[in-house]
């Protein structure tokens, strides 16, 4: 009897061994980086919106130059921005359709092509920063690492037309909002670091950083800030995102 009971117990233990090995060998739950990035995009701004922000360029001697822009975005590939201040820049307008960008200057009378790496305001923010599309549109997630408080996303540009070849993005786990982004060239050179600060409730379910600060190892002592005054969802006609409409962009306000 004792031998039979022992045999039965051995069989039971043996039957559990494969299950134990499966549990030990099972991979940890993988974070869906693409879904995480899309969630971040929506928390940062509605898909279609209007926004007012101030750009501040600060030189090593403390000199500041400020610009106020009114911007409207629709979908994943259309954004325009109108200069409100200073007076010398007023009524200038920029348009981005996908990877194509234009600048309209009233005294010139027609839009001229600009590139993502140029800057219509000077300073460290380039046109790709000022006319930014959604991260999930421009970048693919290659890897997601995490610790107790932060996700670290390694992102690769989907095309060669994107301003930065790679991004390393730190995302707060509690809020699913960005903390900082290191921007790299294809050579691996660090171009700039973007730092997000000052969480603000803009209303309409939009609660996100109100300050974006950037510094660059290529421009020692210089700093640029993007200060968000208002962001809200708005329906906008497709006509607003055409070259012909740029001289009339102030009619949207």
Q: What is the DSSP string of 71-102?
A: EEEETTTEEEEEEEESGGGTT-EEEEETTEEE
Strands 139-146 and 150-157: antiparallel
Tell me the C-alpha to C-alpha distance, in Å, between residue 103 and each of 35, 83, 89, 157, 221: 34, 11, 12, 24, 28
For the segment 13-40, the average pLDDT, to the nearest whole number, is 63
Question: For residue 17, what pLDDT band results from cuts at 50, 70 and 90?
Answer: very low
Domain coordinates in residue numbering, the chain: 33-252
For 65-80, the pLDDT digits (tens) are: 999 999 999 998 999 9
Residues 80 and 48 sit within 8 Å (Cβ to Cβ):
no
Tell me the C-alpha to C-alpha distance, in Å, between residue 247 and each of 41, 103, 106, 134, 233: 30, 11, 7, 26, 23
- On the question of pLDDT at 158 being above 80, the answer is yes
- N- to C-terminal Cα separation, the chain: 91
What percentage of the chain reaches a pLDDT higher than 90?
A: 85
Question: For residue 164, what pLDDT band results from cuts at 50, 70 and 90?
Answer: very high
DSSP state of 149: S
What per-residue confidence (pLDDT) applies to 8? 53
- On the question of pLDDT at 45 being above 50, the answer is yes
Which residues does 19 contact at the CB level (< 8 Å), separation at least 6? none
Question: For residue 25, what pLDDT band results from cuts at 50, 70 and 90?
Answer: very low
Residue-averaged pLDDT of the chain: 90
What whole-number distance in Å separates Cα of residue 153 and Cα of residue 74? 26
- On the question of pLDDT at 28 being above 60, the answer is no
For the segment 99-122, the average pLDDT, to the nearest whole number, is 94
For the segment 83-108, the average pLDDT, to the nearest whole number, is 96
What whole-number distance in Å separates Cα of residue 128 and Cα of residue 88? 23
- On the question of pLDDT at 27 being above 60, the answer is no
Structural class in CATH, domain 33-252: mainly beta
* Backbone φ and ψ of 171, nearest 5°: -125, 130
Question: For residue 152, what pLDDT band results from cuts at 50, 70 and 90?
Answer: very high
What per-residue confidence (pLDDT) applies to 161? 87
What whole-number distance in Å separates Cα of residue 66 and Cα of residue 165? 29
For the segment 23-48, the average pLDDT, to the nearest whole number, is 80
For the segment 214-233, the average pLDDT, to the nearest whole number, is 96
Write the DSSP assignment of 47-67 as a string of letters: SSEEEEEEEEEE-TT--EEEE
CB atoms within 10 A of CB 68: 17
DSSP state of 187: T
């Amino acid at each position: 009897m004792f031998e039979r009971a022992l045999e039965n117990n051995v069989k039971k233990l043996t039957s559990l061994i494969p299950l134990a090995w499966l549990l030990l060998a099972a991979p940890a739950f993988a974070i869906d980086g693409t879904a995480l990035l899309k969630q971040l995009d929506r928390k940062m701004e509605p898909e279609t919106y209007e926004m007012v922000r101030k750009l501040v360029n600060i030189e090593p001697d403390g000199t500041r130059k400020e610009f106020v822009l009114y911007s409207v975005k629709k979908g994943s590939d259309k954004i325009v921005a109108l200069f409100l201040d200073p007076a010398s820049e007023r009524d200038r307008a920029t348009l981005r359709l996908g990877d194509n960008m234009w600048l309209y200057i009233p005294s010139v009378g027609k839009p001229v092509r600009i590139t993502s790496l140029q800057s219509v305001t000077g300073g460290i923010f380039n046109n790709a920063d000022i006319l930014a599309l959604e991260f999930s549109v421009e970048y693919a997630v290659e890897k997601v690492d995490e610790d107790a408080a932060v996700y670290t996303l390694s992102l690769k540009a989907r095309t060669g037309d994107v301003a930065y070849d790679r991004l390393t993005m730190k995302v707060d786990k509690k809020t699913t909002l960005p903390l900082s982004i290191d921007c790299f060239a294809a050579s691996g050179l660090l171009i700039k670091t973007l730092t997000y600060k000052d969480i603000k409730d803009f209303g309409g379910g939009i609660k996100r950083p109100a300050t974006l600060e950037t510094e660059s190892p290529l421009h020692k002592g210089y700093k640029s800030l993007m200060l968000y005054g208002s962001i809200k969802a708005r329906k906008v006609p497709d006509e607003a995102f055409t070259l012909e409409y740029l001289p009339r962009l102030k009619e949207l306000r």
